[in-house]
Amino acid sequence: MTLRFVEACKLPNRFGVFTLHGFEDTDTGIEHLAITHGDIADGTPVLARIHSECLTGDSLFSERCDCGYQLEAAMRQIVAEGRGLILYLRQEGRGIGLLNKIRAYKLQDEGADTVEANEQLGFPADMRDFGICQPMLAHLGVKSLRLMTNNPRKLESMRQHGLMVVERVPLQVGRNPHNTDYLDTKANKLGHLMKPAVAYRAPHRKADGGASAPERETA
């Protein structure tokens, strides 16, 4: 896996002013992004989100999942802390791609859960590869993370790729009537760490994304 840094620019958005770094995985041609805020290269652990692309949730406001809410909450928390980063990885649909995700959603419309739908299409439940994170973080000068995630497999994958995660910061936002079954399946079949007590709050993404300060856990 070879990483090429292409360029960085300012990215002001509703939450603050970030820097957008563009990379290419030269083995696959896939373009990945890092979105950073503040001084992240001072050697201390950095609040971080490793976010897998979800066009429907991140850009089309879909309530079938929690991705858009998590992205927004991560940006808000990073700005509130004054520093942090998001690696935005282009592995749509847990790696099966956008069109296959639409196929999987159709199967879910007909009763399959998110894992069964992938399997019916001939894919594993999760095809993602987080190997690109290591060279991206090395380029950014980041040595250790406080990772915003509910996914213990993501934590394990980070460790397998030699990344130091000193803390898991839960990121449980966005439960709504359209994604209740989906989130429950993630907890029950994929092992996501969801606390029932936090389930659920406001329907509006803005209010929700700005929800309370993150809980902290030692990873």
Ligand X SMILES: Nc1nc2c(ncn2[C@@H]2O[C@H](COP(=O)(O)OP(=O)(O)OP(=O)(O)O)[C@@H](O)[C@H]2O)c(=O)[nH]1
Residues making contact with ligand X (CB under 6 A): 52-54, 65, 67, 70, 91-94, 96, 101, 104, 114, 118, 149-151, 154, 171, 186, 192
CA dist., res. 77 & res. 48, Å (int):
10
Q: Read off φ and ψ for residue 173, nearest 5 degrees.
A: -140, 160
Task: Assess contact for 167 and 128: CB atoms under 8 A.
Answer: no
If contact means CB under 5 to 8 A according to the sort of partner, which of Zn ion, ligand X, none does residue 92 touch?
Answer: ligand X
Catalytic residue among 126, 146, 168, 205: 126
Q: Pick the closest to residue 73 from 149, 184, 156, 171 (CA basis).
A: 171
If contact means CB under 5 to 8 A according to the sort of partner, which of ligand X, Zn ion, none does residue 151 touch?
Answer: ligand X
CA dist., res. 166 & res. 162, Å (int):
12
3-state secondary structure at position 191:
coil
Residue 13 CB, nearest distance to ligand X (Å)? 20
Q: Does 109 participate in catalysis according to the annotation?
A: no
Q: Which residues are annotated as a binding site?
A: 49-54, 65, 67, 70, 92-94, 114, 149, 154
Q: Does 128 participate in catalysis according to the annotation?
A: yes
Footprint of Zn ion on residues 20-79 (CB under 5 A)?
54, 57, 65, 67
Catalytic positions are 126, 128
